[in-house]
A and B are shown apart, each in its own frame.
Chain A
Amino acid sequence: MNTANQYLKAIYLIQKQENNPAATGRVADMLDVSPASANEMIGKLEARGLAEHEKYKGVRLTDDGIVRARDALQTYCIIERFLTNVLDVKEFRAEARELESVIDGTVAERLDTIIDRKPECPDCFDPEMDACACLDVELEVEPPAD
């Protein structure tokens, strides 16, 4: 289980979208957690050398953090694609979110051997849709979490 990877993925997507450090509030919103929880985890990521927090600006990933975030995003893309292409799961985004903390990168690599993943992965990931843009499915924007 890896909550840190989910934070790294969220920070990576926000800082890529905005080309700026990710505001802690946006990270908290994206993960549907309290700002206090987000601050606590960002502190842990800083201590591990994966992120740097800039006062009044937000959090930015270090090079090591970016590598790990991209790995986590790739694992997430594999899970989404596996659910859609192999198991034909309609609610694949909701299920991928439930599964990502239990499916390790090593396991995802094995699942990757039976799906057709595009070479541009994980840059194909669309954070607005919370899905790989190359998936051959009709997507609608999901309503925000309660």
Chain B
Amino acid sequence: MSLSQQVSSDRQLARLLQIGIVLEEVVEARAHHHYQSLSDDERVLDPEIEQLLSHAADESADHRKRLEALIQDLSVDSIPFDEIETLVEARYGQTKPDDFDGVLYDQLCNEETAYKFYDDLIEAIEASDASFSVDRDQLLEVLRGLRAEERDGAEEVTKIMEERE
């Protein structure tokens, strides 16, 4: 056991970005399965929820690609993404939320967790004076962009929840 509080190597950064990909996979899988669980009637009655979940799944897929692009530029061995996707899919293939409140609450947790992750990662990179094999400014720009979209996502879900109270 030893004390560590910074991101200091390509390998450590790659692992953290990989964890980001898994979180995005989880968001995408949950949003997809929640969306699939809506009946045809519910989709007609609640296009707002349908649109929210569809957008969340698309956004997570896009975030994943941006994280993968960063990892590809680091000097580390490639990581088997297919296995992660299969594992996450297997976990959420059977889940079904109880009602719309459950769907929205779960989506809010997803967005807030991803926001917290990117926020902590940005802080750790900013606190480090290590040099990485990706451009530091570009790295931070991508991560800040992802964080901003997660914050917007959380605000969007909160707004819908408040309107429905």
Interface residues of A (CB under 8 A from B): 1, 3, 6, 9-10, 30-33, 82, 86-87, 89, 95, 97-104, 106-107, 109-111, 113-114, 127, 130, 145
Contact = CB atoms under 8 A, between A and B. Distances in A.
B37 interface: no
B124 A10 contact: no
Interface of B: 1-8, 12, 15-16, 18-19, 22-23, 26, 79, 84, 87-88, 91, 109-110, 112-113, 116-117, 120-121, 123-124, 127
A30 B120 contact: no
A106 B4 contact: no
- Chain B contact residues: helix, strand, loop or mixed: helix
Contacts, number: 87
A110 B121 contact: no
A76 B90 CA distance: 24
Given A86-B22, A102-B16, A113-B26, A1 B123 contact: yes
Contacts of B8: 98
Given A33-B2, A97-B1, A102-B124, 9 more contacts: A1-B120, A1-B127, A31-B3, A97-B4, A98-B8, A100-B4, A102-B7, A106-B113, A114-B88
